[in-house]
Structure 1
Amino acid sequence: MLDVSGIDLTTEVVRTERLVLRPYRPDDVDAVLAACQDPDIGRWIPAVGPAYGRDDAVAWVTREAPAERAAGTGLTVAIEADGEFVGSTGVHRIGQHPLGPEVGYWIAAGARGRGYAAEAAHAMAEWALGLGASRVYLVADVGNTGSQSVARRAGFTQEGVLRSYLHYADGRAADAALFSRLPGD
């Protein structure tokens, strides 16, 4: 069981060789809004849809992500490379899902192709496993071959397909490829 009782998730920062995975700041709103206007983010991230606007970005950055951290149910972080916001990642559903905590990620269009998503997902999995999680999982739309490749590069193994698991803001439902990492993977 992932034990976050001795950690202040509201201030927790994870670092990799190239990335700082840090709490969101109010000055991230514009970057989140710009990234979530990208049709590919809305296409593959269920909570983001074509109507995603400034109020949604403000809510995410200032209320929703901090609330998840304060409640101890997730470590949702901004991905920063060379001092610039490049995406989002996190460990979600801590103590809430039978598959264990869930790792998620997205990268802004201008920062894709540099390996940031795999590096961030690997770091988030290591963080959770290092705190005692017996497994972590992630899901990717079966049509999102890029995200599935990221999962594999981050050390995850595909276990199967969850039928009609994803429910998008525009009303679509889709199958999800299920990936996991275990301690020692």
Structure 2
Amino acid sequence: MFVRTERLFLRPGWPEDLDDLLETFREDAFQRTVAVSAMPRTREAARAYLDRPRDPRFPHFFMYRRGTQGAKLVGGVGLGPHGDEVEVGYWIAAAFRGQGYALEALRAVVEQARTLGHRRLVAKHFTDNDASVRVLEAAGFHDTGDAHLRYSAGRGEEALAHVYAIDLERRRWPHMESPDEMLSA
């Protein structure tokens, strides 16, 4: 499964991605923002990460910025089962944060989730990650009011995480509503 956005090409990981992934995954600042488990830092672990089987209902994409000098790894985004819910997660390499790539990719994956028949997505962010709040809200997610401790291998401990959600059956993007849709919501 492949998705093309204005600036990005979202695609599954390939063996050729190994060096790009290792460069990014070895950054301590990156590891700290990973929610549940640390990303692989060795060549063998990264190869196993790329080779693991994927459920087609829960795709994971690597974000590559398209450009005249070739593609550059920007981050990753994907869906995964989390209990009875479908969780979306994403990461951005430190050099590309603050440039709108997370929002661009997240919107594309939300649309992909809708196409796959998912009705609701949740996303969790650590309370010290204000950038994720801005990205999630801009993508149409809302704060559910729920928060709980969640283990972070990158931090080596649990940290408080807020839960955001988006109802995929209700509407597309808040800024795309017609006046009639707003009245019926």
Could you say whether these structures have the same fold, taking a TM-score greater than 0.5 normalized by the shorter chain as the test? yes
Give the match for residue 3 of structure 1.
none
- TM-score scaled by length of structure 1: 0.80
- Cα distance in 2, alignment partners of residues 92 and 162 from structure 1: 19
1:77 paired to 2:61: yes
Q: Distance in 2 between matches of 1:170 and 1:85?
A: 24
Residue number among 35, 44, 66 corresponding to 2:24 in the alignment: 35
Q: Is the 8 A contact 2:32 2:152 kept in 1?
A: no
Computing the radius of gyration from Cα coordinates, the structure with the larger value is: 2
- Are 2:37 and 1:47 equivalent residues in the alignment? yes
Q: Which runs of 5+ in 1 are unaligned?
A: 1-11
Is the Cα–Cα contact under 8 Å of residues 80 and 87 in structure 2 kept in the other structure? yes
- Tell me, in whole angstroms, the C-alpha distance in 1 between the residues paired with 2:29 and 2:107: 22
Corresponding residue SS for 1:124:
helix
Offset at residue 170 of structure 1 (A) = 5.3
Superposition map of 1:4-153 within 5 A: 12-45=1-34, 46-48=36-38, 52-61=41-50, 63-64=51-52, 67-68=53-54, 71-72=55-56, 74-82=58-66, 83-93=71-81, 97-99=83-85, 101-153=86-138
The CA deviation string for residues 126-160 of structure 1, in whole angstroms up to 9 with x for no partner, is 11123321101111111111222221122211112
Give the Å deviation of 1:33.
0.8
Alignment partner, residue 140 of structure 2: 155
**Percent identical residues:** 31
Amino acid at match of 2:58: G
| C-alpha RMSD of matched pairs (Å) | 1.9
> How far has the Cα of 1:73 moved from its partner?
5.0
Instruction: Write out aligned runs for 1:161-176 (5 A).
Output: 161-168=146-153, 171-176=156-161
CA shift for structure 1 position 124: 0.7
Indicate conservation of the 8 Å contact 1:138/1:178, yes or no. yes
Q: What is the CA distance between 1:105 and its match in structure 2?
A: 0.7
Q: Tell me the distance in 2 between the aligned counterparts of 1:158 and 1:177.
A: 7
Q: How many residues end up aligned between the 2 structures?
A: 165
Whole-Å Cα distance in 1 between the matches of residues 153 and 38 of structure 2? 8
Quick one: distance in 1 between partners of 2:156 and 2:38? 12
Equivalent position amino acid for 1:22 in 2? R
CA distance in 1, matches of 2:97, 2:49: 22
